[in-house]
Amino acid sequence: MNVRSAIQLASAAFALAILAFAGPPAIAADTIDPAADAKAFQKYFTDKFPKLKLEDFVNGPYSLNEDMHRQWEEKEEFPPYDFSLDAGKEMFAKPFKNGKSYADCFPNGGIGVRQNYPYFDEKEGKVVTLELALNRCREANGEAPFSYVKDEMASLTAYMAYTSRGKPFDIKIPSDPRALEAFEDGKRYFYTRRGQLNFSCASCHVQNPGERIRAEILAPALGILNAMPIYRSEWGGMGTISRRFVTCNIQTRGVPLEPQSDEYRDLEYYLSYVSNGLPISGPGARP
């Protein structure tokens, strides 16, 4: 049975799984409970893969069986993302034309802070991701923004992730109703089917982790952003979170959104929060 058939046959069971994560979509902010969602989300995966430790999920498909784990260990001896990591370190240290640098834009000089992004900016009323914060830093210092899906942004975020390796995701959701709505909107996007294939993000990454779609081995949704940015063999290079979201929409034959759109930022907020407590493992590598 192919993956698509399995998804269709499991749709009823999947609907029940969604309810287990916190019930049907709620609109009123006082009914949104991110902590309960995160607890149920993590329990779903630890029940589905009882042999795995919680922190193992950040290794994506490489955590799911011994053969793939050995592949990951071999790949980590000479990781394909090293070139990007070196480039990101050099870029991060290089001053802007005005003499300032990325370190001037971030707490702790930008070192060891990846686990705190994205965050909800109560003044702006929106989610701010690390990629967005980096481009805002550049623009505030008279530099042109980088593409959200190209090598420069991937290299910068790779270096910042590397300085946070081992630190657990610590995403905050303030009591501001707009923050709760952003979390809920991200959750809704994650479970909504779209595209000609009528897939949601959850169709692949909740129902079928470890299965294959074409050459891709599907990763569990839990911990999926902890390893970002990632080197993918199919890309032949590094990719940002923005690139991954865009690619997923294209793979379901849907219309991708603009990188760093509100929907993608809210989706990142949701996926990061429900992986709170899992360590940063980025940059990573995937098939």
Q: Please indicate if the annotation marks 105 as binding a ligand.
A: yes
- Angstrom distance (rounded) from CA 112 to CA 23: 35
Please indicate if the annotation marks 137 as binding a ligand. yes
Note if 168 is an active site residue: no
Q: Report the alpha-carbon distance of residue 189 to residue 183 in Å, rounded.
A: 10
* DSSP calls for 145-183: PPPTTSHHHHHHHHHHHHTTTTPBP-----S-HHHHHHH
Q: What is the 3-state secondary structure (H, E, C) of 28-91?
A: CHHHCCHHHHHHHHHHHHHHHCCCCCHHHHHHHHHHCCHHHHHHHHHHHHCCCCHHHHHHHHHH
Say whether 204 counts as a known binding-site residue: yes
Report d(CA 129, CA 127) in Å as an integer. Answer: 6
201 belongs to an annotated ligand binding site: yes
Q: 171, 206, 225, 248: which one is catalytic?
A: 248
> Does the annotation list 70 as a binding residue?
no
Return binding residues for substrate.
244
Return binding residues.
105, 137, 201, 204-205, 244, 248
Return binding residues for heme c.
105, 137, 201, 204-205, 248
Residues known to be catalytic: 248
